[in-house]
């Protein structure tokens, strides 16, 4: 059987054989993701205000950056007293993952050139996940568009409400609202840790970040924690090489 690449209402993005999915089902899934995550913009607004950013600065971050993890990393580092450049560097490295999403989505969505710069702004975890889960290009385009629009509107609206609410209550730390941002971020991250490698990477990153927090300037522990990924990959590669060694020796003995 010959398989074909993704096209409107036909072949799936993965193997070219998946059955089409109803547009209404795609819209429903996309709305669910957009609404669920978009509401957490309130936590970012509160966290940003607690870190000392003004309401216009907080809203500008959601409008122009629009990638929750990087936004939380930036304001978290600033709240810890970190240098703005260091905080921005940590947020930048965390946002680099969106570049890899873009490489995959550019082929899957195949959008017209005029729309690509606008779509690039909406390439984040949620839009990538919904798009890649669809069996057809049409479904991927609908999922991407609905998720992006829903999430962008709600995220920015709730960011504004969170910033206004933080200004109204005054000291966010006294109310415990300063912990809302990290709590939401961890809640979003936890379900993604499905394999032993992912859990090990997250665990080492936490140990590095928390262990170095008392001895390094604010924002730097976040950058160092990023070394967890190459460390785990290196250890996995070394274990795989050791496992192949005895297997190759047995093959030589058989020969």
DSSP 192-206: G--SHHHHHHHHHHH
Give the pLDDT confidence of 29-76 residue by residue, as tens digits.
Answer: 999 999 988 988 988 898 888 888 999 999 999 999 998 888 888 887
Calpha distance 4→182 (Å, rounded): 44
pLDDT for position 46: 86
Q: Which residues contact 237 (CB under 8 A, 6 or more apart)?
A: none
More confident residue, 155 or 195: 155
Q: What whole-number distance in Å separates Cα of residue 112 and Cα of residue 33?
A: 25
| pLDDT(135) > 50 | yes
Q: How far apart are CA 68 and CA 210, in angstroms?
A: 21
pLDDT band at 191 (very low <50, low <70, confident <90, very high): low
User: Whole-angstrom Cα distance, residue 164 to residue 60?
Assistant: 14
What pLDDT does residue 201 have?
86
Report which of 120, 137, 156, 138 is spatially closest to residue 40, judged by C-alpha positions: 156
Sign of the torsion angle spanned by Cα atoms 54, 56, 62, 65: negative
Burial 154-176 (b: 16+ CB within 10 A, else e): bbbbbbbebbebbeeeeebeeee
Q: pLDDT tens digit string along 2-21? A: 333 444 444 445 444 556 77
Q: How far apart are CA 179 and CA 173, in angstroms?
A: 8
Taking all residues of the chain, what is their mean pLDDT, rounded to a whole number?
80
Q: Can you give the pLDDT at residue 243?
A: 72
Give the side-chain half-sphere CA count within 13 A for 4: 8
Interval 77-88: pLDDT, tens? 787 777 788 778
157-179 residue pLDDT tens: 999 999 998 877 666 666 665 56
Predicted local confidence at residue 175, as pLDDT: 62
């Amino acid at each position: 059987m010959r398989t074909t690449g993704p096209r409107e209402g036909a072949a799936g993005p993965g193997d070219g054989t998946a059955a089409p999915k109803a547009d209404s089902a795609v819209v429903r899934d996309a709305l669910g993701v957009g609404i669920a995550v978009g509401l957490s913009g309130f936590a970012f607004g509160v966290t940003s205000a607690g870190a000392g950013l003004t309401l216009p600065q907080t809203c500008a971050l959601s409008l122009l950056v629009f990638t929750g993890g990087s936004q939380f990393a930036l304001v978290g580092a600033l709240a810890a007293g970190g240098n703005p450049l260091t905080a921005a560097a940590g947020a930048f490295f965390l946002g680099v993952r969106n570049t890899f999403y873009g490489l995959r989505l550019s082929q899957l969505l195949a959008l017209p050139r005029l729309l690509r710069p606008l779509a690039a702004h909406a390439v984040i975890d949620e839009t990538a996940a919904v798009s890649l889960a669809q069996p057809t290009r049409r479904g991927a385009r609908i999922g991407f568009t609905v998720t992006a629009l829903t999430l962008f509107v709600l995220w920015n609206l709730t960011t504004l409400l969170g910033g206004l609410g933080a200004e109204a209550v005054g000291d966010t730390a006294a109310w415990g609202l300063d912990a809302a941002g990290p709590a939401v971020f961890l809640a979003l991250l936890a379900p993604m840790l499905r394999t032993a490698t992912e859990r090990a990477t997250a665990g080492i990153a936490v140990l590095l970040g928390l262990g170095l927090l008392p001895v390094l300037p604010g924002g730097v522990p976040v950058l160092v924690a990023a070394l967890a990924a190459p460390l785990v990959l290196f250890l996995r590669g070394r274990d795989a090489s050791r496992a192949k060694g005895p297997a190759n020796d047995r093959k030589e003995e058989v020969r």
